[in-house]
Structure 1
Amino acid sequence: MALELTVDEIVETLKRSSLTTVLVEGVDDVMIYRWLEHEVGINNANFFPCGGRDTLLKVFERRDEFKNLKCIFVADKDTFVYINPPEKYNDIIWTNGYSIENDLYYGKGIEQLLSIDEKKIFLKSLDSFIEYYSFEIENFLAEKEFSFRNHPQHLLCDIQHTIKQDFLEQINFVKPDTTTLNKVKENYDILIRGKSLFAILTRILSHKKRPIKHSKNSLLEHCYKTHKSEMFARLLSEINKKISA
């Protein structure tokens, strides 16, 4: 496991640096950012994983301490995808969707890997998950207890491909408003946490009876190399613009 630096250690490192630096979250998405780093060119900028979104934001708030260094901050919108990010973070390059994984998934081209029968299972699983997830979004917006981290593999029934009833009862599930539900259905590649989206897809594309099995990483690579979305391209373009400015 890579050693994670504290905010103080990152700030001190940046004070001593002279190469343009792109600060990223980098806990789970190092592979994706390595692809970005390759496209930007390692001689043009150094990509610096901060070890998490909270750490990155704290470093951003101390950027005056290394103001002589050109720094670009890139972060997942996370829950800011449902509300506008605070103005104090306007200089951060945000993903278009919930996370950088969403920007890779955007456009849903990766779903072409599904067969006709798999697509039916996927859509049934997705529709059920969207209804549950919309409930969590409404809880978040109402400042109630919420969670966007519940893993689809644990929630979806292997036979019915719907969210398990006992789980819904446990969280006192209430059917979300139609407006919320329709918005998420139309924009699920943006609004549903990327890890959850890929988990639903991987659940089907890695099935033990499937002759060709895909892992999450192989799907991410497919998205990057064969289904590169306009939102991922936009993210790369924004990084390059700031590096060149």
Structure 2
Amino acid sequence: MELVLSVDEIVETLKRSDLTTILVEGKDDIIVYRWIEEEIGILNVNFLPCGGRGKLLEVFERRNEFSSLKTIFVADKDTYVYINPPSNLEEIIWTNGYSIENDLYFGRQIENLLNRDEQEIFSTSLNSFIEYYSFEVQNLIEGNDYQLRNHPQNIVCKIQNKVKAEFLTDRNFIKAPKELENKIIENYDVLIRGKSLFALLTRILSHQNRDIKHSKMSLLEHCYKTHRSEKFIELIQKIRDKISA
């Protein structure tokens, strides 16, 4: 069980530390950072999960309280993938895509696990989800209420493999500008929230009628260990460069 520290406790821990510390979100993606930590294998570097993006940013804002310690902040770009991060956060190492899951997914090689029928189902569900998701991104851009965390498993019909009509009605769905939708279609491995993207894939690759079933964690491990993307390699290199700087 992951120990969750408060922002004050994290700051106090850093004040007393003499180890180079890499602060990560660590709520849902800590296992990936543990893999990176093991791979880097530097004994005088400590990975410290903050328990979420918000807490990491709060600690970052208080970094003057532990200025004598070498710290490196790594965070999911999140909605900054659609709008540029504020300039006062430029010291943070951001993922290339929406999240670290996106950097693992980048290049879409993991989709090779799908057979021909599954590829058709995935394409149908993905295109329908993108149409809906573009609407939420447009709301974000316009400063309106938006929801990017709706889980595909809850909103995609198991029979038609499309976002449920009643859900779209509840969200007062209207089609987003075609330019935005096309941008997300072309770059969905970067722009769709990584958890949603893996959920769309997992709902097919974990189907009860499938001989070989995959969980999200097994797919993440596949991405990390068997066909690492160029964007994930770039992320690890940025961390290495900061450590040695």
Q: TM-score range by the shorter chain?
A: over 0.9
Equivalent residue for 1:184? 184
For 1:146 and 1:50, the matched residues in 2 are separated by 25
Equivalent residue for 1:98? 98
For 1:117 and 1:63, the matched residues in 2 are separated by 51
**Once the two structures are superposed, what CA deviation does each residue of 1:195-245 show, in whole Å capped at 9, x if it has no partner?**
000000000000000000000000000000111001110000000000001
For 1:177 and 1:92, the matched residues in 2 are separated by 32
Deviation at 1:42, TM superposition (A): 4.1
For 2:42 and 2:6, the matched residues in 1 are separated by 24
Deviation at 1:46, TM superposition (A): 0.5
For 2:44 and 2:194, the matched residues in 1 are separated by 29
Structure 1 ranges of 4+ moved more than 4 A: none
Comparing 133-142 with 35-44, which one deviates more in the overlay?
35-44
**Does structure 1 residue 203 correspond to structure 2 residue 203?**
yes
Equivalent residue for 1:56? 56
Equivalent residue for 1:2? 2
Equivalent residue for 2:155? 155
For 1:7 and 1:160, the matched residues in 2 are separated by 45
Equivalent residue for 1:123? 123
**Once the two structures are superposed, what CA deviation does each residue of 1:88-133 show, in whole Å capped at 9, x if it has no partner?**
0010000000000000000001000000110000000000000000
For 2:31 and 2:109, the matched residues in 1 are separated by 20
- Number of residue pairs aligned between Structure 1 and Structure 2: 245
For 1:50 and 1:29, the matched residues in 2 are separated by 11
Q: How does 1:7-156 map to 2 (within 5 A)?
A: 7-156=7-156
The amino acid of 2:98's aligned partner reads Y
Secondary structure of 1:107's aligned partner: coil
Secondary structure of 1:198's aligned partner: helix
Secondary structure of 2:149's aligned partner: coil
For 1:48 and 1:238, the matched residues in 2 are separated by 17
For 2:94 and 2:53, the matched residues in 1 are separated by 11
Unaligned stretches of 5+ residues in structure 2: none
Unaligned stretches of 5+ residues in structure 1: none
Deviation at 1:3, TM superposition (A): 3.1
Q: TM-score, normalised by structure 1?
A: 0.99
Identity of aligned residues (%): 65
Task: Tell me the C-alpha RMSD between the 2 structures.
Answer: 0.7
For 1:167 and 1:217, the matched residues in 2 are separated by 28
